Every structure is written in structure tokens, then in C-alpha cells.
Amino acid sequence: MTDSEIKYLSVEEAAKLVGAIQEEEDIERQDRRILTVYSRDDREVCWFDYDEIMEIVKDVAKGEKQEAVQDYILAHIPDWTLEL
């Protein structure tokens, strides 16, 4: 599925759904990090590849990187997460 085929929640909808974004080790590949998104009731919603996200926000000032990552993820929560 390409990025253009994916429908995303609005940032407002995503902010209501997302309770935490946690950096974790990928259980399938130990040399890989992921950013797991959890709902407000602690359900795993989706995940993002850590290296891909860091590449996207690479030009953001160090002190603003965490907010940039959060903003990017909130803008890219797939709409199918509401069905979980």
C-alpha cells in the first residue's frame, strides 16, 4: 500500500486516540528500533520505523526533534486504527 492510498485520521482525531509513543526494540529484528503508538487505554495501535522517522526529521533542531516526531506521527495515524 502506498502512502497515497492510506487514509489518515485528522491530527485532532489522532490526538484523542493516542496516549503514548514509545521507542522500543523490534522483537523480530533486534538491530532495529520502532516507535510504537499506544491508545489512551494502553492498546497497541500501530508502529513506525525509528530510522525512517529520524530521516524525515533530520533537519529539525535537536531541542525540537521530539515534538517534530510526535507531530509527524499524529499526522500519519491510519484511519483503520479506529477499527481496532
Residue 2 clears pLDDT 70, i.e. is over it? no
At 12, the pLDDT band (50, 70, 90 cuts) reads very high
pTM above threshold 0.85: yes
Task: Look up residue 4 and give its three cell numbers.
Answer: 497515497
What are the DSSP calls for the chain, one per residue?
--GGG--B--HHHHHHHEEEEEEEE-SS-TT-EEEEEEETTS-EEEEEEHHHHHHHTTTS-GGGHHHHHHHHHHTT-BGGGGG-
Question: Which tens digit of pLDDT belongs to each residue from 28-47?
Answer: 888 899 999 999 999 999 99
Q: How high is the mean pLDDT of the chain? A: 94
The domain total for the chain is 1
Q: Whole domain around residue 65: which residue ranges?
A: 3-83
Residue 22 clears pLDDT 60, i.e. is over it? yes
Tell me what percent of the residues of the chain surpass a pLDDT of 70: 95
